[in-house]
Amino acid sequence: VFNTVPQAPPDVIFSLTAGYKADTDPNKVNVGVGAFRTDDLKPYVLPVVKKADTILFNNADLDHEYLPIAGTPSYTKAAARLILGENSPAIHENRVAAVQTISGTGSIHTGATFLSQFYKKSKKCYISKPTWANHRNVFALVGFEVEEYPYWNGEKRGLDYEAMLNTMREAPEGSIFILHACAHNPTGVDPTREQWQGIAEVMSEKHHFPFFDCAYQGFASGDLDNDAWAVRYFVEQGFELFVAQSFAKNFGLYGERAGNLTIVTKSSEETKRVFSQMEKLQRSEISNPPAYGSRIVDIVLNDPALYAEWKENLKYMSNRIIEMRKALFERLTALGTPGTWNHITDQIGMFSFTGLTASQVKVLKEKYHIYMTDNGRISMAGLSTKNIDYFAKAVDDVVRN
Ligand code: LMR
């Protein structure tokens, strides 16, 4: 039965973590996976999450019953409000549906599967070049023809805006475009507001469908509203759209798989029908979503004091990342490392796209036990005051030789 099953390649991100864990070198550095670490390079349990935990476990009525198929309404509503804004016209007009999902990947998968069934305009889905590796996996799995739109300009070390727009203009009418709502993974380069306006204009002319992936709200700028700006702008422009939300990073709930798919349609009547199909789909795929992570998020988002505290926790995380950007830039500049390095401080969010080549990345791993993806992406949270000198010297060495 299984003798024709070919070996699949290892996952580019998770295989790095496995390699790092198996490495016994005391200086090893993991800048592979996008997971926040404290300055002691330890996982961070947000203080607000600890408080929510206490509330949850002191609740005498807590049980382990099934959640509704589409998740807990107070959670999905709060998640939709978080991304679309309290005063979103779409929310007030009942044009928003939301489904609780298995974190961001589950959200993208649910949205993509729904589109593969009901989206009749195009079978083409465009992802940015480069993008998070799972975008292609998920859309290809459900039968889309996955194409790329230019995004990163290696020479400029910035956004390839004109080329991106040209591809959007040339793409068949009604194509699906995956857009990173903020803190683009892997490049850390986001369009400016003016550029987002240009993108929306072309997408509207060509009737393309925006599918936002929002895994870093609060991480890009430390400001939840600012990081939601692009999505809200598209809603104001009258787009129908999907937003996949993950609470892995901004709540530090990586393993709890708390996500949400927010759906904006043209009318409340359409919303009802779409939601009914989403429930049907969800029932066949996961029956109903897991409870724990979503309960934590639900408690925090629906309590003004805890919500305010969450924002402070977010600031701590985004500030530590900004500090590490500055520290790395300063060290490379002080070492006189050949090349320009200001992109490290210009980029935002969890990652920096260093411009290091695959062969340099290989040397960093073999000689220095530093683990990063072959495309030169580093998770800034893997750096700290403890390893930044070691890391900068290693980069300096591979760039020179
Ligand atoms: C990453 O890009 O490193 C994270 O989003 C983890 C993952 O699931 O790939």
The reported pLDDT for the residue numbered 115 is 98
The reported pLDDT for the residue numbered 221 is 87
Determine phi and psi for 382, rounding to 5 degrees. -85, -5
**Between 103-118 and 268-285, two packed helices, what is the crossing angle to 10 degrees?**
110
The correct answer on CATH 3.40.50.460 for the domain covering 73-302 is: no
Residue 124: CB atoms within 10 Å: 17
Q: Please, what's the b/e burial string for 355-372 (b: 16 or more CB within 10 A of its CB; e: otherwise)?
A: bbeeebbebbbeebbbbb
33, 105, 257: residue to mutate for ligand 1 pocket, most atoms within 8 A of CB: 33
Taking Cα atoms as reference points, which of 199, 134, 216 lies closest to residue 160?
199
Phi/psi class of residue 337: alpha, beta or left (left: φ > 0; alpha: ψ in -120 to 50)? beta
Burial of 166 (0-12, 13-18, 19+ CB in 10 A): middle
Give residues with Cβ within 8 angstroms of 48, minimum separation 6.
Answer: 300, 306, 309, 310, 313
The alpha carbon of 74 and the centre of ligand 1 are apart by a number of angstroms equal to 27
In this predicted model, what pLDDT tens digit does every residue of 64-115 receive, in sequence order?
A: 999 999 999 999 999 999 999 999 999 999 999 999 999 999 999 999 999 9
Question: How far is it, in rounded angstroms, from Cα 229 to Cα 84?
Answer: 9
The reported pLDDT for the residue numbered 156 is 87
Q: Domain limits of the chain? A: 14-46+316-400, 73-302
What are 16's two structure tokens? 């790095």
Residue 25: CB atoms within 10 Å: 10
Question: How far is it, in rounded angstroms, from Cα 259 to Cα 76?
Answer: 9
Give this complex's ipTM.
0.92
In this predicted model, what pLDDT tens digit does every residue of 209-247 receive, in sequence order?
A: 999 999 999 988 889 999 999 999 999 999 999 999 999
- Which atom of ligand 1 has the smallest separation from the CA of 11? 9
In this predicted model, what pLDDT tens digit does every residue of 321-353 receive, in sequence order?
A: 999 999 999 999 999 999 999 999 999 999 999
What are 281's two structure tokens? 């789909």
DSSP bridge pairs for 211 = 178, 242
12, 13, 131: residue to mutate for ligand 1 pocket, most atoms within 8 A of CB: 13
The reported pLDDT for the residue numbered 219 is 87
In this predicted model, what pLDDT tens digit does every residue of 267-321 receive, in sequence order?
A: 999 999 999 999 999 999 999 999 999 999 999 999 999 999 999 999 999 999 9
Q: Which of 8-17, 36-45, 380-389 has the lowest mean pLDDT?
A: 8-17
Residue 110: CB atoms within 10 Å: 26
In this predicted model, what pLDDT tens digit does every residue of 133-160 receive, in sequence order?
A: 899 999 999 999 999 999 999 888 899 9
The reported pLDDT for the residue numbered 394 is 98
The reported pLDDT for the residue numbered 191 is 97
What are 346's two structure tokens? 């210009």
Which residues are catalytically annotated?
Answer: 132, 213, 249
Domain 14-46+316-400: assigned CATH number: 3.90.1150.10
The reported pLDDT for the residue numbered 2 is 96
Is-contact 239 203, C-beta < 8 A?
yes
Give residues with Cβ within 8 angstroms of 227, minimum separation 6.
Answer: 181, 182, 183, 214, 216, 217, 218, 219, 220, 221
Determine phi and psi for 225, rounding to 5 degrees. -75, -45
- Which atom of ligand 1 has the smallest separation from the CA of 186? 2
Q: What percent of the chain has pLDDT over 70?
A: 100
The reported pLDDT for the residue numbered 299 is 98
